[in-house]
Amino acid sequence: MGEDLQMGLNLNFSGVENKFPLFEGDFDFIITEAEVKPSAKGDSQNLIIRVEIQNGEDAGKSFPQYINIQESTMWRVKAFFDAVMGEDVEDVDIEVDDLVGQAVSGTVTNDGQYNSVVSWVTTS
């Protein structure tokens, strides 16, 4: 029981396409999943959505976006809901499940560390 177990990996990645980060640009998305969970630190909540790209070379790819809900990030939360609602909103009262199926647009940029970051865009 006290023995150290070592496991090895022998992997060949030739022919494996790198799917991320996404190409930078403007995209239309459909929200395919949505849930709220406590943040890792437990001091706020995260709205976790999965979006699927509807246009361009990356059409059909999906990925999660974590929207931290706390006072210092309300600008990002507001930008997301402005984009979902298609207008400048002051108040939002919505069931999280009702986000699924909603269309939203955003601009994808890459942070240089294989993370694709979406800035939500109001299109109406």
On the question of pLDDT at 108 being above 90, the answer is no
**Residue 33 to residue 65: CA distance in whole angstroms:** 10
| Mean pLDDT (whole number) for 40-44 | 88
Average confidence score pLDDT of the chain: 84
Residue 31 contacts residue 104 (beta carbons within 8 Å)? yes
DSSP-assigned letter for residue 71? G
pLDDT at 32: 97
Which residue bears the tokens 């999943």? 33
pLDDT at 104: 93
**Residue 108 to residue 27: CA distance in whole angstroms:** 7
Which runs of E-coded beta strand occur in 1-124? 25-38, 45-53, 62-69, 103-110, 116-121
Residue 99 contacts residue 49 (beta carbons within 8 Å)? yes
**Residue 49 to residue 115: CA distance in whole angstroms:** 15
Residue type, 25: G
Residue 53 contacts residue 90 (beta carbons within 8 Å)? no
| Mean pLDDT (whole number) for 102-108 | 90
Residue 89 contacts residue 81 (beta carbons within 8 Å)? yes
9-37: pLDDT as tens digits:
888 888 776 655 567 888 999 999 999 99
Q: What is the pTM of this model?
A: 0.77
